[in-house]
Amino acid sequence: MLNDYTYAKNPKSHIYYCSKKNKGCKARVKLDRNGIIINKAEDSTHFHPPPKYYQTSSGEYIKLSS
C-alpha cells in the first residue's frame, strides 16, 4: 500500500502494478534492490480515486468499497 493506493507485485520483477491494472490503470511503482521507490511521475498517475480502506486495531486493512 502506497499513498492510499494498493499495488500488486509482479513476481518476475521489482515492479508493483496498481491493483486496478486490469481495469486499465497504468500506474506502477518500481523499486530498486534496496526497496527504494524509483518511480517516474507519469507512472504514478491513477485514473481513479484510491480505494477506501479501514485499518483495524490488529493492523489489518478492510476494504470498504471498490
Residues contributing to the site for Zn ion (CB under 5 A):
18, 20, 25, 27, 46
Residue 18 CB, shortest distance to Zn ion, in Å, is 3
User: Distance between CA atoms of 51 and 31, rounded to whole angstroms?
Assistant: 22
Nearer of residues 13 and 47 to Zn ion, judged by Cβ: 47
Residue 58 CB, shortest distance to Zn ion, in Å, is 27
Q: What angle do CA 6, 11, 59 make, to 5 degrees?
A: 35
- Cβ(31)–Cβ(14) under 8 Å? yes
Residue 3 CB, shortest distance to Zn ion, in Å, is 10
